């Protein structure tokens, strides 16, 4: 898989700040802010609290005038948005009609282990045989860790959790990065009465924004190193692979640098960084601020103002942006101040008409208990690091590459622990099942962007981040991993077993 390609020399990469090589597209790109922002379709139920999503090849127009083959849920990218209700168990049947095995993970979901999208629990298209791979890293020799579903699998989501912006994406062993790059991701929005009752912007002014980067071949297909062996020998590309793959086109909801017409009103924007590896520092032009109302796992206790937001892969920020003081005809651009050249642009808002707006942002949003370090029964350390091994260098946790079925921790159901993440590079650390609050970064307290309940935390080079993590919901086998998807595929993942 990715392994051989990526485990080569990593010269110099440890010292730099998000400046990995960006793949360059080989076709003419549209002028920024000319393509209208699409809103992903909402999935329609096929029965009471039942949905079906079919993973298949689709052909879509991303770069105007060209066609891109995507591997999408229902053949679209982003996939249909799942509207979930807190307290309502929902079953999603995922059919696979792709030429590759898949595993689907509900990111941020409190989900029983058999529906969590374990990397070796795969669905394979009807009629296609499946043999567990041998000789790959991460337990490839131990065929007992594989489960194989011909055609389809029912994923059962109890949704016993509060309102939050979740997402779903492929999680196949060793191949998550290329499969998500080709389109296997979508939103899953959990709603509840508490969130509904707040006077925040609603309906057409509550907009999910899936932000990711891609690069394109001359014929409009996605460019990705492993899809083109010739790319692997070009200087810089190996390094790009090691750092995670980044493209030169920023897509929002699958459209390049789109534009959205807005009214003179507040908008709730659910920002998701679904990129394989790119971090963004989002800012709005003209000094417009983000008022953050929610994090990965739903409402904050109270709003937090940001003039810029650093968002790492896998993270979500639920923000309100106020266009009410802007004259019709004016424009506000969302830029990425970590980007260079065309990756500095993200999207634009163009103010259309003057309206009356009844929404507001309450001073108090929800109850979020203060994180109490003393509540922890255990403390564990997870060190995310490049390690030198037999086959070169590899991304590891506590010095070991991912081995499915071998847990690195056995927390008890119903308890709270302190998990310390240390790292040598940018590693956005994601924990399945369990939600956490950030206790500290280095000697300091949490950053302004760390507020609330989270499931993914941006750990920066040589930083020590402590989180207070709560094990609720289910016993069983789950994972934690780096959400830089190339790092994840290169074995920076570990099991933990809730006992
Ligand atoms: Cu969004 Cu295990 O991943
Ligand atoms: Cu990483």
Mean pLDDT value across residues 156-176: 97
The total of other beta-carbon atoms located within 10 Å of residue 464's CB is 15
Identify the CA nearest to 165 among candidates 292, 49, 52, 344.
292
Please spell the DSSP secondary structure of 137-186, one letter per residue: TTTTT-GGG-EEEESEEEEEE---S-SEEEEEEE--TTTHHHHHHTT-EE
Cα 38 to averaged position of ligand 1 atoms, centre (Å):
24
| 172 Cβ inside 6 Å of ligand 1 | no
Q: Is the pLDDT of residue 240 over 70?
A: no
Give the model's pLDDT for residue 227: 56
CATH class of 373-498: mainly beta
Please spell the DSSP secondary structure of 207-241, one letter per residue: EEEEEEEEEE-TTSPEE-GGG-GGGGGSTTHHHHH
CA of 104, nearest ligand number: 1
Alpha carbon distance 463, 440 (integer Å): 10
Mean pLDDT value across residues 133-160: 81
Helix H or strand E segment including 382:
strand 378-389
**pLDDT bracket for residue 131 (50, 70, 90):** confident
Alpha carbon distance 23, 123 (integer Å): 31
Among protein residues, the one with the nearest Cα to ligand 1's atom 1 is 107
Residue pair 56/97 in contact by the 8 Å Cβ criterion: yes
Regarding the domain delimited by 3-13+35-193, which CATH topology (the fold level of the hierarchy) does it fall under? Answer: Immunoglobulin-like (2.60.40)
State the DSSP code for 243: H
Q: Is the pLDDT of residue 210 over 80?
A: yes
Give the model's pLDDT for residue 242: 80
Q: Is the pLDDT of residue 342 over 60?
A: yes
CA of 456, nearest ligand number: 1
Residue pair 472/426 in contact by the 8 Å Cβ criterion: no
Residue pair 461/14 in contact by the 8 Å Cβ criterion: yes
Ligand 1 atom at minimum distance from 488 CA: 2
Among the ranges given (9-13, 93-97, 481-485), the one the predictor scored with the smallest mean pLDDT: 9-13
| 427 Cβ inside 6 Å of ligand 1 | no
β-strand partners of 289? none
**pLDDT bracket for residue 17 (50, 70, 90):** very low
Cα 282 to averaged position of ligand 2 atoms, centre (Å):
21
Alpha carbon distance 347, 345 (integer Å): 6
| 278 Cβ inside 6 Å of ligand 1 | no
In the chain, ranges of CATH 2.60.40.420 domains: 3-13+35-193, 203-351, 373-498
Mean pLDDT value across residues 192-204: 98
Alpha carbon distance 128, 223 (integer Å): 26
Give the model's pLDDT for residue 133: 73
Q: Is the pLDDT of residue 198 over 70?
A: yes
Give the model's pLDDT for residue 18: 45
**pLDDT bracket for residue 5 (50, 70, 90):** very low
Give the model's pLDDT for residue 229: 54
Identify the CA nearest to 12 among candidates 464, 422, 424.
424
Alpha carbon distance 466, 418 (integer Å): 7
Whole-number average pLDDT of the chain:
92
β-strand partners of 481? 430, 493
Please report how many Cα atoms fall inside a 13 Å half-sphere around the Cα of residue 188, on the Cβ side: 26
Per-residue model confidence as pLDDT tens digits over 378-418: 999 999 999 886 667 789 999 999 999 999 999 999 999 99
State the DSSP code for 12: T
Among protein residues, the one with the nearest Cα to ligand 1's atom 3 is 107
Q: Is the pLDDT of residue 180 over 90?
A: yes
Q: Is the pLDDT of residue 446 over 60?
A: yes
Alpha carbon distance 455, 123 (integer Å): 26
| 169 Cβ inside 6 Å of ligand 1 | yes
Give the model's pLDDT for residue 481: 98
Q: Kind of pairing, strands 435-441 and 493-498?
A: unpaired
Alpha carbon distance 168, 82 (integer Å): 9
Alpha carbon distance 234, 465 (integer Å): 36
CA of 433, nearest ligand number: 1
344 three-state secondary structure = helix
Give the model's pLDDT for residue 393: 77
Q: Is the pLDDT of residue 4 over 70?
A: no
**pLDDT bracket for residue 121 (50, 70, 90):** very high
Residues 6+ apart with CB under 8 A from 390: none
The CATH architecture annotation of domain 203-351 reads Sandwich (2.60)
Mean pLDDT value across residues 58-85: 98
% of the chain beyond a pLDDT of 70: 90
Q: Is the pLDDT of residue 371 over 90?
A: yes
State the DSSP code for 370: P
Interface pTM (ipTM) of the complex?
Answer: 0.98
Identify the CA nearest to 419 among candidates 459, 359, 474, 369.
459
| 137 Cβ inside 6 Å of ligand 1 | no
Ligand 1 atom at minimum distance from 167 CA: 1
% of the chain beyond a pLDDT of 90: 85
| 316 Cβ inside 6 Å of ligand 1 | no
DSSP E strands, 9-76 = 22-23, 50-60, 68-73
Helix H or strand E segment including 487:
helix 485-489
Q: Is the pLDDT of residue 1 over 50?
A: no
Could you give phi then psi for residue 495, rounded to 5 degrees?
Answer: -85, 150
Alpha carbon distance 345, 469 (integer Å): 35
Give the model's pLDDT for residue 426: 94
Residue pair 120/143 in contact by the 8 Å Cβ criterion: no
Could you give phi then psi for residue 242, rounded to 5 degrees?
Answer: -65, -40
Ligand 1 atom at minimum distance from 117 CA: 2
Mean pLDDT value across residues 114-128: 95
Query: Which whole-number Å values give the CA distances from 179 to 216, 253, 367, 477, in the listed order?
Result: 15, 17, 38, 23
Q: Is the pLDDT of residue 135 over 90?
A: no
Cα 68 to averaged position of ligand 1 atoms, centre (Å):
25
Cα 487 to averaged position of ligand 2 atoms, centre (Å):
5
Q: Dihedral through CA 163, CA 165, CA 166, CA 169, nearest 10? A: 160
Cα 484 to averaged position of ligand 1 atoms, centre (Å):
10
Residues 6+ apart with CB under 8 A from 443: none
Residue pair 402/424 in contact by the 8 Å Cβ criterion: no
Q: Is the pLDDT of residue 3 over 80?
A: no
């Amino acid at each position: 898989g990715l392994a051989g390609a990526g485990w080569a020399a990593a010269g110099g990469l440890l010292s730099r700040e998000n400046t990995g090589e960006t793949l360059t597209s080989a076709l003419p790109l549209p002028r920024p802010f000319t393509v209208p922002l699409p809103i992903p379709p909402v999935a329609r139920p096929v029965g009471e609290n039942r949905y079906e999503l079919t993973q298949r090849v689709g052909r879509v127009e991303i770069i105007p005038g060209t066609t891109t083959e995507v591997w999408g849920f229902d053949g679209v990218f982003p996939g249909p948005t799942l509207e979930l209700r807190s307290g309502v168990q929902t079953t999603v049947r995922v059919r696979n009609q792709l030429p590759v095995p898949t595993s689907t993970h509900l990111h941020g979901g409190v989900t029983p282990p058999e529906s969590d999208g374990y990397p070796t629990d795969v669905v394979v298209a009807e009629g296609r045989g499946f043999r567990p791979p041998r000789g790959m890293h991460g337990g490839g020799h131990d065929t007992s860790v594989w489960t194989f579903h011909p055609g389809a699998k029912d994923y059962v989501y109890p949704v016993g959790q509060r309102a939050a912006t979740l997402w779903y994406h492929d999680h196949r062993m060793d191949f998550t990065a290329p499969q998500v790059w080709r389109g296997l991701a979508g939103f899953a929005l959990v709603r509840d009465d508490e969130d509904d009752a707040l006077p925040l912007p609603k309906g057409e002014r509550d907009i999910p924004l899936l932000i990711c980067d891609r690069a394109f071949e001359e014929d409009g297909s996605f460019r990705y190193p492993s899809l083109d062996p010739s790319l692997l020998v070009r200087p810089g590309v190996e390094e790009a692979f090691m750092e995670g793959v980044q493209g030169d086109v920023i897509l929002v909801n699958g459209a390049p640098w789109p534009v959205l017409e807005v009214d003179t009103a507040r908008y709730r924007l659910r920002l998701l960084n679904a990129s394989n590896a790119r971090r963004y520092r989002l800012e709005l032009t003209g000094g417009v601020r983000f008022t953050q109302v929610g994090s990965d796992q739903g409402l904050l206790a109270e709003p937090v103002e940001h003039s810029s937001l650093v968002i790492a892969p896998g993270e979500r920020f639920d923000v309100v942006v106020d266009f009410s003081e802007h004259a019709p005809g004016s424009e506000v651009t969302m830029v990425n101040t970590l980007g260079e050249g065309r990756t500095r642009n993200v999207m634009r808002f163009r103010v259309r008409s003057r309206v009356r707006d009844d929404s507001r942002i309450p001073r108090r949003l929800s109850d979020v208990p203060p994180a109490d370090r003393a509540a922890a029964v255990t403390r564990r350390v997870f060190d995310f690091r490049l390690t030198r091994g037999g086959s070169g260098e590899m991304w590891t946790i506590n010095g070991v590459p991912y081995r499915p079925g071998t847990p690195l921790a056995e927390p008890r159901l119903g308890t709270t622990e302190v998990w310390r993440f240390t790292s040598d590079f940018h590693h956005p650390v994601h924990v399945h099942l369990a939600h956490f609050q950030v206790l500290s970064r280095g000697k300091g307290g949490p950053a302004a962007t760390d507020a609330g309940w989270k499931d993914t935390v941006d750990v920066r080079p040589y930083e020590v981040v402590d989180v207070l993590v709560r094990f609720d919901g289910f016993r069983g086998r789950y994972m934690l991993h780096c959400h830089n998807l190339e790092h994840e595929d290169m074995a920076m993942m570990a099991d933990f077993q809730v006992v």
